[in-house]
Structure formats: structure tokens, C-alpha cells
Amino acid sequence: MAIIIDTSICQGVDACPEHGLCIEICALNALDNVDGRPVVNEDACPECGLCIMNCPKEAISKP
């Protein structure tokens, strides 16, 4: 399992009010910047919730 990023809410790092904070704060490096969008590596994410709590657009959730 892994978190879900709603791409209708998150318009990518350039449009992010915190400039891709989710990618920066993931201590496990489970989020990659792929063509300007955060993409989760499902094998690396234990759903700790840190990115969910810190996304300024509330674009990230647990399944």
C-alpha cells in the first residue's frame, strides 16, 4: 500500500504553494519528482502520514 496523490488537486511542484514540500520532507525518499510531479514509490512508503499532514493543498491521502 501507499499514499495516493490526487493529481486533480496537486498541479505539480511548480504550482505547489510549498514548492514540492512533500518530496522534501519524506524521510524515506519515497516521493520522486517525475516530470515536475510527485510520484510515490509504493515499495518505500509505509504511509507514515507526514506528507499528508504537510501538503498545503491537502492533495495526499491514504487509500
Answer yes or no: are the C-beta atoms of 5 and 60 closer than 8 Å. Answer: yes
Residue 62 to residue 28: CA distance in whole angstroms: 17
Binding to ligand SF4, residues 2-61 (CB under 6 A) = 3, 5, 10, 13, 16, 18, 20-22, 26, 28, 30-31, 38, 40, 45-51, 55, 57, 59-60
Dihedral pair phi/psi, residue 31, rounded to 5°: -115, 130
Which residues of the chain form contacts with ligand SF4 (CB under 6 A)? 3, 5, 10, 13, 16, 18, 20-22, 26, 28, 30-31, 38, 40, 45-51, 55, 57, 59-60
